[in-house]
Amino acid sequence: MKVYSVTDIRNIALIGGAKAGKTLLGEAMAFEGKVISRMGTIEDKNTLSDYREIEMERQNSVVATLLYSEINNKKINIIDCPGIPDYIGEPLGVLPIVEATAVVVNATSGIEVGTEIIWRKIQKSQTPAIMVINQLDHEKANFDDTLRELKESFGAKVTVVQYPVYNGTEFEGVVDLILQKYLKFPKGGGAAEVLDIPESEKAKAMELYTQLVETSASGSDDLMEKYFETNDLTIEEMRRGVKLGLRSQSIYPVMCVSAKQNKGVARLLDFIGNNVSAPNEGAGLLNAKNEVVLVDASKPFSAFVFKTSKEQHLGDVAFLKIMSGSIAEGQDIVNTATGNKERVSQLMVVSGKNRVKVEKAEAGDIIITMKLKDAKVNSTIATANNDVQYAATVYPEPIYTIAIKADNSSDDEKLGTVLNEIHSVDPTFLVEYSRELKQIIIKGQGEFHINTVKWLLDKIYKIPTSFFAPKIPYRETITKSAEATYRHKKQSGGAGQFAEVWMLVEPYYEGMSNQTKYPVRGTETHNLTWGGKLVFNNCIVGGAIDARFMPAILKGIMEKMEEGPLTGSYARDIVVNIFDGKMHPVDSNEMAFKLAGRNAFREAFKNAGPKILEPIYVVDVMVPSDRMGDVMTDLQGRRAVVMGMNSDGQYQIISAKVPLAEMNRYATTLSSLTSGRATYGMKFSEYQQVPTDVQNVLLKAYEDAHKEDE
């Protein structure tokens, strides 16, 4: 395959909802570029993009797929991104490395949920966008309604470049305002016949043409001057204006296609080649110092690993955006973060399931290489002594949490390995073992996302598993002072065990005085790993307990704090004063005092107004204004305390504090209440006491569970 220079490369992502038709559009683009000789279909399960078993089964894209097309001596790299919101990490990983997006919209259903969500990310990343209205040949297609919806949602920057004379089953061509021609498509697709604009369309075409010229001219001062002088621009001047407008996000041009019938796709590719910036003209990437680094073919090799995968016959695959220089087979490279050296074994350009081996690739291109041991997502690889490091893509925090367990204990180790493998290729999926909860916890972007992991475990890795609601990491504390004494005495032949501990416990709070009813001789303050503090005061006078036994008493207390007296949860924020006790010259030892301290603490704790604390999270919900009431009602049913509301266009942002215990499956509920249009994020805030009725339920549940254990 030809090695393309940076000026002849274009990189674009196909973005949109699950029903927009992105996969078939990518298929038609590859067909037009003669990368494939025949277009596949979703129904026949033979498309370039959706070649994975799960995608063929579900007939939906699950991961971003790299394709390419070759047209007019240019290589157009195309990344088909899934439209289901649960897979938001896929387009987010792609946005930094493309110079434009094609926002694909279904002409029958308009802007879908996934489109609204990813559009906010596109605006934040300031990635140029082309609006592609697809499926105009469908009997229910309506271009005018779709255009109106685009302008209402995305603003006045949405500018018509093409419009259909007819849509629906009569769709056969478009008026192209840049070319000022009517493009008539043959039945079955293919090269368009270039005709003059029909008389019946000239008035409408002129009106839209004037709007396009004005928008294009605003791209630069010299074009504006030319427009004021002549009231017109040449085709090349309009292209330059549109290109500048795209780059500055001052124009979102509208193109028309029927991907299934391959109508308008060749012109779309031509438009991309003429108007999307080459990589060296694009925005570049930020480096670790937050500086912009532009694509530059003249500098030593460096590349950003924006995606990885594990494939059956290839092993570990790294997807690279080459930022500078060139890369060739056999070249030595370095991971600039770790310093680890590796050698490039193979380079390939990718069109979905098809791979073409190449010996070299230039700056600006997107390729894959295999079997790099140290190329993870967000890695930078480069030649030796090149210390560039590109900034990592920031992925959203997970919003859906579940506990998982292998059905067969013999699969435990394998399950852990596989879950970590899935995380390595999908940064939006997290896995951890909670020592506190004694559960493996997995987290994702929604129930659909987690169900995809379940599918992989069942079908690919053959590990039967079960999902459970995760336990809540409660905490225990006290609300008043209490004293307790405990004597540990054991005699079983030979040396016995004896220890007696007198203890006063008090609630700890920030800024409190360390003065108690007993004189303090020594203090240890422990910042607990699970939050809160333990203050341990030695108030012994007269040698009632030897100082060498105090660490043992503390150890016993800490053991009980790790398994609190009420529900077995961690205890926190307590002051313990050891003020008296007894010991035996022969039978006292560290074990005896550890047990005495542990049991004295348990008794004092239960008499000190014990309370259970629950984790509280700040939850920010972005919800369409017309669904506010339903969402607010649901939050109130979850013991939420609303802290405030703000508006963001057609959306309202509700900020509330909600107990974690009430957030189980909230992602699914919110999606149901808002037809998938709302999004939310959550962040830990604090621990608060649970209401009395909730505490009683928790205590009974713990008591019943321990009866079963007995």
For 467-488, write each residue's pLDDT tens digit: 999 999 999 999 999 999 999 9
Which residues belong to CATH 3.30.230.10 in the chain? Answer: 476-609
Which residues belong to CATH 2.40.30.10 in the chain? Answer: 286-382
Question: Residue 525: its pLDDT value, please?
Answer: 95
Contact 548, 565 (CB under 8 A): no
Three-class secondary structure assignment of 584-627: CCCCCCHHHHHHHHHHHHHHHHHCCCCEEEEEEEEEEEEEEHHH
Question: Residue 488: its pLDDT value, please?
Answer: 94
pLDDT-derived band of residue 708, with 50, 70 and 90 as boundaries? low
The 10s digit of each residue's pLDDT in 176-228 is: 999 999 999 988 777 899 999 999 999 999 999 999 988 888 878 888 888 78
| 6-201+249-282 under CATH 3.40.50.300, yes or no | yes
Q: How far apart are the C-alpha atoms of 535 and 309, rounded to whole Å?
A: 50
The 10s digit of each residue's pLDDT in 693-702 is: 999 999 998 8
Contact 189, 261 (CB under 8 A): yes
User: Which CA distances in Å does 61 have to 16, 255, 377, 459?
Assistant: 11, 23, 20, 17
Q: How far apart are the C-alpha atoms of 169 and 142, rounded to whole Å?
A: 11
Closest to 364 measured CA to CA, from 1, 2, 3, 5: 5
| CATH dotted code for 286-382 | 2.40.30.10
The 10s digit of each residue's pLDDT in 313-344 is: 778 899 999 999 999 999 999 999 999 999 99
Amino acid present at 602: R
Name 170's Cβ contacts closer than 8 Å, sequence gap at least 6. none
Q: Which fold would CATH assign to domain 400-468?
A: Alpha-Beta Plaits (3.30.70)
CA angle at 498 for the pair 495 and 500, rounded to the nearest 5°: 175
| CATH dotted code for 476-609 | 3.30.230.10
User: Which CA distances in Å does 547 have to 539, 543, 554, 580?
Assistant: 11, 8, 12, 12
Q: How far apart are the C-alpha atoms of 180 and 162, rounded to whole Å?
A: 10
Q: How far apart are the C-alpha atoms of 411 and 274, rounded to whole Å?
A: 55
Q: How far apart are the C-alpha atoms of 61 and 336, rounded to whole Å?
A: 33
| CATH dotted code for 613-693 | 3.30.70.240
Amino acid present at 585: P
Amino acid present at 397: E
Question: Residue 710: its pLDDT value, please?
Answer: 45
Per-residue exposure over 528-538, b if at least 16 CB sit within 10 Å of its own CB, e if not? beebbebbbbb
Percentages helix, strand, coil for the chain (3-state, rounded to 5) are: 30, 30, 35
pTM: 0.89
The 10s digit of each residue's pLDDT in 257-302 is: 999 999 999 999 999 999 999 999 999 999 999 999 999 999 999 9
